[in-house]
Amino acid sequence: MNHELVARQVSIQEDEDIFILAFADGEADTGPYLLLQYSLCPDEQDVRLRQDGVYIERDDQGYGCYLGVREIRRVGNRVEIDLTESGKQGLQTQHIVITPLPWDALIDRGLARLAELSRGEYNVTFDGVA
């Protein structure tokens, strides 16, 4: 089963500790969402627990996990996310498709930042180009 989200809200948050790219179908806390979060300063415990990579969550904390992303692709004006086996279990879906309305440069900046942070953990491509 695939999870599809039409995102009418997109946001990026970054400070010295964390980077977040979030997609939501409406106002915050009122509907489906997808969040990609990356700790910029993981501590020793985070590394030991393997919580030092990308964290992905959909709709609720009960559907989230670390190290669940295999690949993030921009295909035209949508984002496709392939999940690892742990991602499929944690998010209870096989694949995620996000269609932002409208597409804007903020999304490209967010995807580029995720690519920069990936450290080889996952791939980020733009219309087939890494």
Q: What is the pLDDT of residues 41-86, one digit of tens each?
A: 777 876 676 767 899 999 988 999 998 999 999 999 999 999 999 9
Give the position of tokens 């580029």: 112
- Note the pLDDT of residue 40: 85
Taking alpha carbons only, the member of 78, 83, 75, 72 closest to residue 111 is: 72
Maximum separation of any 2 CA atoms in the chain, in Å: 40
Q: Is the peptide bond before 102 cis (omega within 30 degrees of 0)?
A: yes
What is the model's pTM?
Answer: 0.90
Other residues' Cβ atoms within 10 Å of the Cβ of residue 48: 10
pLDDT band, very low/low/confident/very high, at 121 (cuts 50, 70, 90)? confident
Rounded-to-10 torsion of CA 116, 3, 11, 115: 0
